Structure 1
Amino acid sequence: MSTAVLTRHADAICPEQPWFVLNAARHYALIASRHPAISHFYNFEVAPEAALTLAIPDGCVDIVFDCDSAKPLARACGSTLSVRNAALLAGHRYFGVRFAPGVMPDFLDVMAEELTDHAFNVFEVMPDARAACEQILRTPQFCQQVALFNQHFSTRLMRRMSPATAAAVRALLQQQGNLRVDQLEALTGYTCRTLQRLFRHDTGLTPKAFGRIIRCQAALNRLHAPVRCSFTDLALELGFSDQSHFLREFKTLVSMTPLEFCRRATDADWATRLSMH
Structure 2
Amino acid sequence: MPAPAPLAERVEFLMWVPPESSVSHVHEVVPDANVDLLLELSDERCRAVLYGPLTHTIHVPSRAGHGYLVVHFHPGAMPGLVDASPSELVNGFVELRELAGLSVDALGERLLAAGSPERMREELTALLSRVPYPPGDSFDRALRHLLARPEPLRPGALADALHLSTRTLQRAFKERVGFSPRTYTRIARLQEALSALREHPTRSLSEVAHRIGYADHAHMTRDFRELTGRTPSDFRTPSPSGRGLG
CA shift for structure 1 position 156? 3.5
Matched, 1:47 2:23: yes
Q: Is the 8 A contact 1:113 1:200 kept in 2?
A: yes
1:154 aligns with 2:154: no
Matched, 1:68 2:42: yes
Q: What is the alpha-carbon distance in structure 1 between the residues aligned to residue 55 and residue 157 of structure 2?
A: 23
CA distance in 2, matches of 1:256, 1:32: 31
Q: What secondary structure sits across from 2:32 in the alignment? A: coil
Counterpart residue type for residue 149 of structure 1:
L
| Mapped pair 1:37 → 2:13 | no
- Structure 2 SS opposite 1:86: strand
The DSSP-based 3-state class of the residue aligned with 2:23 is: coil
Paired residues for 1:118-267 under 5 Å: 118-123=92-97, 126=99, 128-130=101-103, 133-139=107-113, 141-156=116-131, 158-162=133-137, 164-175=138-149, 178-225=152-199, 229-265=203-239
Query: What is the letter of the counterpart of residue 2 of structure 2?
Result: I
Between the aligned partners of 2:77 and 2:158, the Cα distance in structure 1 is 18
Distance, in Å, in 2 between the alignment partners of 1:257 and 1:57 is 14
**Cα gap change, 1:138 to 1:215, in 2 (>3 Å):** same
Change (3 A) 1:32 1:153: closer
Letter matched to residue 47 of structure 1: V
The normalised TM-score by structure 1 is 0.74
* Structure 2 contact 40–66 (Cα < 8 Å) conserved: yes
Deviation by residue 1:165-215 (Cα, 9 ceiling, x = unmatched): 111112223336622111211122122222111221122221111111111
Structure 1 runs of 4+ aligned residues shifted over 4 Å read: none
Query: Are residues 151 and 167 of structure 1, via their aligned partners in 2, closer, same or farther at CA, if it must alter by over 3 Å?
Result: same
SS of match in other structure, 2:2: strand
Q: How many angstroms apart in 1 are the aligned matches of 2:103 and 2:176?
A: 25
Q: C-alpha deviations, 1:113-165, integer Å up to 9, x for none?
A: 222222111227x4623266334553453222111111222244632142x21
Give the direction of change, closer, same or farther, for the CA distance of 1:174–1:221 in structure 2 (3 Å limit): farther
What is the alpha-carbon distance in structure 1 between the residues aligned to residue 3 and residue 229 of structure 2? 27
Distance 1:194 1:220 in 2: 31
Cα contact 1:107–1:153 (8 A) shared by 2: no
Structure 2 CA distance for partners of 1:176 and 1:67, relative to 1, 3 Å: farther
- The CA distance in 2 between the partners of 1:85 and 1:57, in whole Å, is 11
- Provide Cα deviations, 1:94-115, integer angstroms capped at 9, x if missing partner: 1110011222214444322222
CA–CA distance in structure 2, aligned partners of residues 66 and 177 of structure 1 = 38
Identical counterparts, % of pairs: 24
Give me the TM-score of the superposition, normalised by structure 2: 0.82
Q: What per-residue deviation string (whole Å, max 9, x for no partner) do you get for residues 202-233 of structure 1?
A: 22221111111111111122224368642212
SS in 1 for 2:237: helix
Separation in 1, partners of 2:135, 2:108: 27
Segments of 5+ residues of structure 1 without an aligned counterpart are 1-29, 269-273
1:46-66 per-residue CA deviation (whole Å, 9 max, x = no partner) reads: 423x3x212222111111001
